[in-house]
Amino acid sequence: MPASLPRNLITGGAGFLGSHLVDRLMEAGEEVLCLDNYFTGRKANIARWIGHPRFELIRHDVTEPIQLEVDRIWHLACPASPVHYQHNPIKTAKTSFLGTYNMLGLARRVGARLLLASTSEVYGDPEVHPQPEDYRGCVNTIGPRSCYDEGKRIAETLCFDYHRMHGTEIRVARIFNTYGPRMLPDDGRVVSNFIVQALRGKPLTLYGDGEQTRSFCYVDDLVEGLIRLMNGTHTGPMNVGNPGEFTIRQLAELVRDRINPELQFVFEPLPQDDPLQRQPWIELARRELGWEPSVPLEQGLEATIAWFRTSLPAA
């Protein structure tokens, strides 16, 4: 008898990253339980798998415990856009803490391996550049971003305490800004904002002077990194992101030039605690996983713009 393929639970599986991961695991012939409360996820993202014998969809909130038989837990459930995670910050903190606690409890009970989708936000507004995994970060504990940043930091802590106390198998990915098809048009994150504004013929909104930087990873590269981390032996924390660093103004120019070079930029106030710079150091992922991103920003933007052109509802 061939060894059976792993049974995967993907929390946040109807969201942007989660649904791409669902696709990859389903295409690999694995079993997938997709769990979501649809706060920022959409059934449309996983509609192609509904009714498939290896696919199951569960409407559930991770702040409540759940009993399931699974081998691998990909714990992605948590709003990722500042607009969404600040909508109800107490709920965001509960999702990060209680959600991770519940999923670790499940992992411990059934002997599953858990991968946490952590974030570059654990580094806050970094004084070290680029950010290596052993940098401990500069996070405001009481600002509007804290519910997310501190939520992910305690989620990482819980993972390592379950690992030390109970031997629970964990993998911690620190994901840097990722973009691609299936971002929500009203997501509020910069790549989708600029593309949607440009396609609608509106000015692009740059916060602050636009000189702050981010490093943008295309979703296919990111999902490949997560799969390699889950399948490998390193617990992490491990940075998963694209080290190509751009100012927000450069990103705006790239989007504008591809959609409508006539468009204007408008400058709006920089949100509180908005990090000035961000770039992943990815030597650990290169060494441990043999992974590095392969899709340059220009190419990933083309694919993302093409997707928004066909899927964007009329304003």
Joined tokens for residue 302: 């083309």
Catalytic residues: 148
CA–CA dist 112, 69 (Å, integer): 9
Query: Rounded to the nearest 10 degrees, what angle do helices 219-231 and 16-27 cross at?
Result: 60
**Nearest C-alpha neighbor of 251 from the set 183, 178, 301:** 301
Which residue's CB is nearer to ligand UDP, number 64 or number 209?
A: 209
| Least distance (Å) between residue 37 CB and ligand NAD | 4
Burial (CB count <10 Å: 0-12, 13-18, 19+), residue 59: exposed
3-class DSSP assignment, residue 40: coil
Among 86, 140, 205, 235, binds ligand UDP (CB under 6 A): 205
Name residue 183's beta-bridge partners: none
For residue 146, state whether it binds ligand NAD (rule: CB under 6 A): no
Which residue's CB is nearer to ligand NAD, number 59 or number 202?
A: 59
For residue 206, state whether it binds ligand UDP (rule: CB under 6 A): yes
The alpha carbon of residue 219 and the mean position of all alpha carbons in its chain are separated, in whole angstroms, by 9
CA–CA dist 170, 192 (Å, integer): 32
For residue 36, state whether it binds ligand NAD (rule: CB under 6 A): yes
Q: Is the dihedral of CA 228, 307, 79, 73 positive or negative?
A: negative
For residue 250, state whether it binds ligand UDP (rule: CB under 6 A): no
Among 7, 8, 10, 16, binds ligand NAD (CB under 6 A): 16
CA–CA dist 35, 22 (Å, integer): 11
For residue 126, state whether it binds ligand UDP (rule: CB under 6 A): no
Count of C-beta atoms within a 10 Å radius of residue 232: 16
Which residue's CB is nearer to ligand UDP, number 22 or number 195?
A: 195
Among 248, 255, 259, 284, binds ligand UDP (CB under 6 A): 248
For residue 218, state whether it binds ligand NAD (rule: CB under 6 A): no
For residue 18, state whether it binds ligand NAD (rule: CB under 6 A): yes
CA–CA dist 240, 218 (Å, integer): 11
Among 207, 246, 265, 307, binds ligand UDP (CB under 6 A): 207
For residue 274, state whether it binds ligand UDP (rule: CB under 6 A): yes
User: 126 is in the binding site of which of ligand NAD, ligand UDP, none (Cβ under 5 to 8 A by kind)?
Assistant: none
Q: Residue 275 in contact with residue 144, Cβ under 8 Å?
A: no
Which residue's CB is nearer to ligand UDP, number 118 or number 212?
A: 212
User: 289 is in the binding site of which of ligand UDP, ligand NAD, none (Cβ under 5 to 8 A by kind)?
Assistant: none
Q: Which chain residues interact with ligand NAD by CB under 6 A?
A: 11-12, 14-18, 36-41, 61-63, 76-80, 95, 99, 117, 119, 175, 177-178
